[in-house]
C-alpha cells in the first residue's frame, strides 16, 4: 500500500506518519501543498491520499482517480468538503478521522470563558499598560444557562465538563443521548435559543442544518448572549451574524472556523490582502474572537488523527470494515 499525504506539517504530523507507516509496511509520500488540480500529479501511483478540510470536488476526485488513487482519508471528523456522490460513482472509498473529544470540548469552554470574562479587552489593553477596570466587567458561567447544539462525542463532552461548573445546561439534538440527559435538559431549538446565555455549536454540517443559526435564530437569542462555534462554519449565516452584531445583538462571539475559509487557515498570510470581507468585518468588532480552526490542535489529537488516517486508508484498500469508513 502506498499513501500520499497532502498538506503535511513537517513540525508535528510527519514524525507520527513516518512511524505509523513504517510499522505497517506502508510506503509514504507527502507534500506541504494542498490537493488541487495543479498538485494532483504528486499522487500518481499512490493507492490512497490523505487531505485536510479543503474542497475535493468532482473534477479533482476524477483526476486523482485517473492517477490511480482509490481511497481518500480526510484528516477531519467532518466530510462536507468532499463530493461523496462523485467519490461513490468513481468507486473511491472515503474515511474520516477520530480523536478524543476533550480538546475541542475544552477549547469551546475556553472560548465561552474568554467572551464572558472579556479576555480580549483585558489582554489588548494590558499590552498598552491600561490596567483600569472600566469596560472589563465579566460574567460568571456558573450562573449562566448554556445551550449545547449537537450532543455527539464532542457536544456530550462539553456537557460533562460544564456540569462541574454548576451551569444550567440545555441541549438540542435530533437524537437525544440518555447519558447527556442525565446532566442537561433536552429542549427544542427555539427554546434553547431563547433561554441560553451561552450557545455553543457542535453539530455536523448537513444540507438540513445549513445556516441553522440565521436571522430568525438571532432574533430569538438574548441581547447579551454569547455564541461559540467550534463545529462547522456553514452552521452560521455569516451575513446574518454581522447584521446582528451591528444591531447590538450578542455580547460576544467566538468562531474557530468560518464559512469560507478555504485557502485561508493553516497558511501564513502575513502581508497579504485577504479577499474575505466577512472576515474583515468580524475582525473589526471588539467582542468577536476569531481563531484559526485550532480547537483540535493538541499533541494527543494530532497523533490520533494520523493513526486513524492510516487505519482508515488501510481498511478501505484491504476490504476491511472500520468505524472510520464513510458509508
- Measured distance CA(230)–CA(107) in Å, rounded: 8
Q: Give the per-residue pLDDT at 260.
A: 87
pLDDT category at 266 given cuts 50, 70, 90 is: confident
Q: Give the per-residue pLDDT at 100.
A: 92
Model pTM score: 0.91
Q: Give the per-residue pLDDT at 105.
A: 98
- The tens digit of pLDDT for each residue in 39-58 reads 999 999 999 999 998 899 99
Checking if the pLDDT of 78 tops 90, the result is no
Q: Give the per-residue pLDDT at 268.
A: 86
Other Cβ atoms within 10 Å of 271 Cβ, number: 5
Checking if the pLDDT of 263 tops 80, the result is no
Do 4 and 49 touch, CB atoms closer than 8 A? yes
Mean pLDDT across 235-245 = 97
All CATH 3.40.50.720 domain ranges in the chain, comma separated: 2-99+298-317, 102-290
Average pLDDT over the chain reads: 96
Checking if the pLDDT of 160 tops 80, the result is yes
CA 151, 157, 162 angle in degrees (round to 5)?
105
Judge: domain 102-290, CATH 1.10.10.10: no
Judged on CB neighbours under 10 Å (0-12, 13-18, 19+), 187 is middle
- The tens digit of pLDDT for each residue in 168-212 reads 999 999 999 999 999 999 999 999 999 999 999 999 999 999 999
Judge: domain 2-99+298-317, CATH 3.30.2390.10: no
Mean pLDDT across 214-230 = 98
Do 65 and 56 touch, CB atoms closer than 8 A? no
Mean pLDDT across 268-295 = 94
Q: Give the per-residue pLDDT at 262.
A: 80
Q: Give the per-residue pLDDT at 267.
A: 82
- The tens digit of pLDDT for each residue in 306-323 reads 999 999 999 999 999 999
Instruction: Cite the active site residues.
Output: 232, 261, 293
Amino acid at each position: 500500500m502506498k499513501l500520499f499525504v497532502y498538506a503535511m506539517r513537517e513540525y508535528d504530523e510527519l514524525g507520527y506518519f513516518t512511524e505509523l507507516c513504517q510499522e505497517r509496511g506502508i510506503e509514504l509520500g507527502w507534500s506541504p501543498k494542498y490537493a488541487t488540480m495543479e498538485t494532483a500529479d504528486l499522487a500518481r501511483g499512490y493507492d490512497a491520499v490523505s487531505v485536510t478540510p479543503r474542497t475535493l470536488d468532482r473534477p479533482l476526485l476524477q483526476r486523482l482517480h485517473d492517477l490511480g488513487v482509490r481511497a481518500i482519508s480526510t484528516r477531519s471528523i467532518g466530510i462536507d468538503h468532499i463530493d461523496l456522490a462523485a467519490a461513490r460513482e468513481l468507486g473511491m472509498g472515503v474515511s474520516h478521522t477520530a480523536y478524543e473529544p476533550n480538546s475541542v470540548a475544552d477549547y469551546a469552554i475556553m472560548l465561552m470563558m474568554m467572551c464572558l470574562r472579556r479576555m480580549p479587552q483585558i489582554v489588548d489593553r494590558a499590552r498598552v499598560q491600561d490596567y483600569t477596570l472600566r469596560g472589563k466587567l465579566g460574567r460568571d458561567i456558573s450562573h449562566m444557562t448554556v445551550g449545547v447544539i449537537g450532543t455527539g462525542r464532542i457536544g456530550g463532552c462539553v456537557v460533562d465538563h460544564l456540569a462541574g461548573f454548576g451551569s444550567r445546561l440545555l441541549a438540542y439534538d435530533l437524537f437525544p443521548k440518555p447519558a447527556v440527559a442525565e446532566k442537561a435538559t433536552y429542549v427544542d431549538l427555539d427554546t434553547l435559543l431563547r433561554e441560553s446565555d451561552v450557545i455553543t455549536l457542535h453539530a455536523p454540517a448537513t444540507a438540513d442544518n445549513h445556516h441553522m443559526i440565521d436571522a430568525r435564530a438571532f432574533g430569538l437569542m438574548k441581547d447579551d448572549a454569547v455564541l461559540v462555534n467550534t463545529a462547522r462554519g456553514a452552521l452560521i449565516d455569516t451575513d446574518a451574524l454581522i447584521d446582528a452584531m451591528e444591531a447590538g445583538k450578542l455580547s460576544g462571539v467566538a468562531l474557530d472556523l468560518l464559512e469560507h475559509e478555504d485557502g485561508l487557515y493553516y497558511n501564513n498570510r502575513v502581508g497579504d490582502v485577504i479577499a474575505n470581507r466577512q472576515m474583515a468585518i468580524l475582525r473589526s468588532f471588539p467582542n468577536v474572537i476569531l481563531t484559526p480552526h485550532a480547537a483540535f490542535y493538541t499533541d494527543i489529537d494530532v497523533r490520533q488523527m494520523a493513526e486513524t488516517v492510516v487505519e482508515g486508508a488501510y481498511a478501505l484498500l484491504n476490504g476491511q470494515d472500520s468505524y472510520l469508513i464513510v458509508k
